[in-house]
Structure 1
């Protein structure tokens, strides 16, 4: 690839999460020694342009270049389950999710959904995602093939669920572990793809399946682990009945060796201080899904307690329990949760903190903090070009912004896919 330069307002993040902003910025993207598209320079246009006298510059003044969004948890097979009414999590799974996921045994069907799913991710400015497939290997193969064709950084895995699941999605213990290892060998580390060992949640896996998942996690320490924990009070009670010897729901996963770096657990609402300390000590991260939690009435994630514990966490859409692919909608829902007092000292999350949780903070949660998320020199060139004038009301509001937080908050509250003028993945539109 060749080197490219872009002039626009520029948002980046330092290692410690501090936002770095240039009202008139320059982003230079080009190949590294391995031929991968990375950031060569980022900062104030006037300070940098003299280093690139002969490089043509794409003029995007009036727009904002920002890191591509990172979605820490969603279900690509639940694309058509968005907005399905139910009394709560468990009825929603029974009546909508499981029947729909049974269709993903067919590769052609899974491939069609995957194409639409990735179109939606890119339309909303998401450049890295950690997603569930289904219990069918075909669903994993379809998703990885489509993501690879687009050059995306994408992580998924075959769902493990060998009990308490209906016909069509329930798998067989031994074969499920064989399939998982085969898929790891086929896909993990290919281009920008990564594999995630994926027990659906503790109630739907036998001890033998959970034990096998832990053994695979130990055998392949650079793969990811993903599951759900402490999302819904009925679910928490069910786990307590199934595992009366466990200290907590989270403790079930710990007993099978499934808490470690590159382990990401969705929701993490109904945890206590001991659970949060365990997540921090093991490097396990939480994927916070506020639109899903509000939609299903599951509860509120305690951002302040997580921060106090030193527990990694970032934001996620959780499509299809979540109600939108839009990172703006997710950040706004997280702000609502913060306004309800679920942050340290009852303070709301700042706009720049919300944005960090959906970019560089989410990258840290994945163990990819040096790779993506911050638009720092050497990081992969995944970014979005945002148009603050995308709608009349957004244009009116952003024109009055007197600070970075006012600009970002206007986008969070009023923005949607119309504000995403361009999504650039690995240096390519």
Structure 2
């Protein structure tokens, strides 16, 4: 058992922030030896309940849940900021050439280490992550994550058509490889497998049908793909699958929409698409820096909230431009203000934070497991220094309430705010 004292940020079951200016979080092993939050609240109340537990005090710091990134590509670490006219040219000119190198397990292992270092440095403790079409890219990622005791999800990308040599696979073998990887890695330690069609245009009917069969056979796996990101992509998908009502409906027709199905972007939706997301329990990974960078459009926060389907925030590196959750939250604020069909919505800072922590965990089907500091949650958290730079120190000192404090961190913050990342009592950064 170990206790940590600082200002404490967590969330209640309604997604509202709970802030203890002088807080204490107690962590310790569960029956299986996994470190979990045992108690959390004000220092006075919690310390009285655990008088024998040693306390590490971080005065002037904020303890907050580790961030959860709902959609990111580890093989695209080296192509952040690559210029392109839009999504499809960017894939052709940068993404696919970079991903061909992941046939080499040495290269895959090297990038996995760099990628996880960046996540930890930025306070991201869980991510739903794209690998490549090469099984060795999945092995490399899981091996690196397992050594660090991280809760991470990934899977072999499925793409058996409209893809260049070097990343294109074959439907039958891709499904055999996927099932072998599920049996090898899913639910091992803190790892989870994601069945991962790249996006509908790069898979044949046979591959998508097989992916749906795997999803039914292994219902606690994740499904991870892209949908409705770019108007040219939407037109292409509709041409390839004319029987589907919409781009999203393609996935429904192959049994690829259910709990733990996560679709990145979800920009060009109508209300029927939104209802389909809600009714199937699928979730959107909102990727605002990527959408802005590639000129794809704006996620409709008002539409998502009105219909009531799950969504959370994601960096989408390397289309996204930063590993930092603060950059992602700031971009989401911009998109909410500017990108609506109705007058823009001003998303409260605490809700932006929730969408990148406990809200993202809920969208992933991991509510009560990660993304929060309530009792029972796994003990992944960050220690934030609200005086990390002179300007941030000046601005946070002027904050009159929690919302002003969180917004100052979002607007001005980057990796310098993250003083420590704690993974089951292992310190990083």
Partner of 2:171: 173
Q: CA deviation at 1:345?
A: 5.5
Taking the aligned partners of 1:123 and 1:341, their CA distance within structure 2 comes to: 30
| Residue in structure 1 matching 2:383, options 371, 382, 385 | 385
Taking the aligned partners of 1:346 and 1:390, their CA distance within structure 2 comes to: 32
Partner of 2:310: 312
Taking the aligned partners of 2:30 and 2:358, their CA distance within structure 1 comes to: 21
Q: How does 1:336-347 map to 2 (within 5 A)?
A: 336-340=334-338, 342=340, 346-347=344-345
Q: Single out whichever of 53-62 and 300-309 deviates more from structure 2.
A: 53-62
Q: CA deviation at 1:326?
A: 0.2
Taking the aligned partners of 2:372 and 2:48, their CA distance within structure 1 comes to: 24
SS across alignment from 2:298:
coil
Partner of 2:53: 55
Is 1:18 the counterpart of 2:26? The answer is no
SS across alignment from 2:27:
strand
CA contact (8 A) 2:258 2:282 kept: yes
| Residue in structure 2 matching 1:266, options 239, 257, 264 | 264
SS across alignment from 1:38:
strand
Partner of 1:422: 420
| Residue in structure 2 matching 1:33, options 31, 34, 39 | 31
Partner of 1:199: 197
Q: CA deviation at 1:304?
A: 1.1
Q: CA deviation at 1:344?
A: 7.4
Q: Deviations over 1:87-146 (max 9, x none)?
A: 000000000000010000010110000000000000000001000000000000000000
Partner of 1:101: 99
Give TM-score scaled by structure 1 length: 0.98
Taking the aligned partners of 1:61 and 1:227, their CA distance within structure 2 comes to: 42
Structure-2 change in CA distance of 1:341 and 1:168 (3 Å):
closer
SS across alignment from 1:346:
coil
Q: CA deviation at 1:339?
A: 1.4
Partner of 1:116: 114
Taking the aligned partners of 2:341 and 2:231, their CA distance within structure 1 comes to: 21
Partner of 1:43: 41
Q: CA deviation at 1:32?
A: 1.0
Structure-2 change in CA distance of 1:105 and 1:232 (3 Å):
same
Partner of 2:290: 292
Q: CA deviation at 1:61?
A: 1.6
Structure-2 change in CA distance of 1:396 and 1:343 (3 Å):
farther
| Residue in structure 1 matching 2:300, options 281, 299, 302 | 302
Taking the aligned partners of 1:372 and 1:175, their CA distance within structure 2 comes to: 34
CA contact (8 A) 1:305 1:344 kept: no
Q: CA deviation at 1:398?
A: 0.4
CA contact (8 A) 1:151 1:425 kept: yes
Give TM-score scaled by structure 2 length: 0.98
Q: Deviations over 1:169-188 (max 9, x none)?
A: 00011100000000000000
SS across alignment from 2:296:
coil
SS across alignment from 1:194:
strand
Taking the aligned partners of 1:199 and 1:51, their CA distance within structure 2 comes to: 49
Is 1:403 the counterpart of 2:375? The answer is no
CA contact (8 A) 1:283 1:312 kept: yes
Q: CA deviation at 1:341?
A: 5.2
- How many residue pairs get matched? 427
Q: CA deviation at 1:15?
A: 1.3
What 5-or-longer segments of structure 1 have no aligned partner? none
CA contact (8 A) 1:30 1:427 kept: no
Q: CA deviation at 1:427?
A: 2.7
Partner of 1:80: 78
CA contact (8 A) 1:29 1:40 kept: yes
CA contact (8 A) 1:65 1:386 kept: yes
Partner of 2:130: 132
Taking the aligned partners of 1:89 and 1:427, their CA distance within structure 2 comes to: 40
What 5-or-longer segments of structure 2 have no aligned partner? none
Is 1:283 the counterpart of 2:296? The answer is no
Partner of 2:63: 65
Q: CA deviation at 1:343?
A: 8.6
Q: Single out whichever of 245-254 and 42-51 deviates more from structure 2.
A: 42-51
SS across alignment from 2:206:
helix
Taking the aligned partners of 1:228 and 1:341, their CA distance within structure 2 comes to: 20
Partner of 1:358: 356
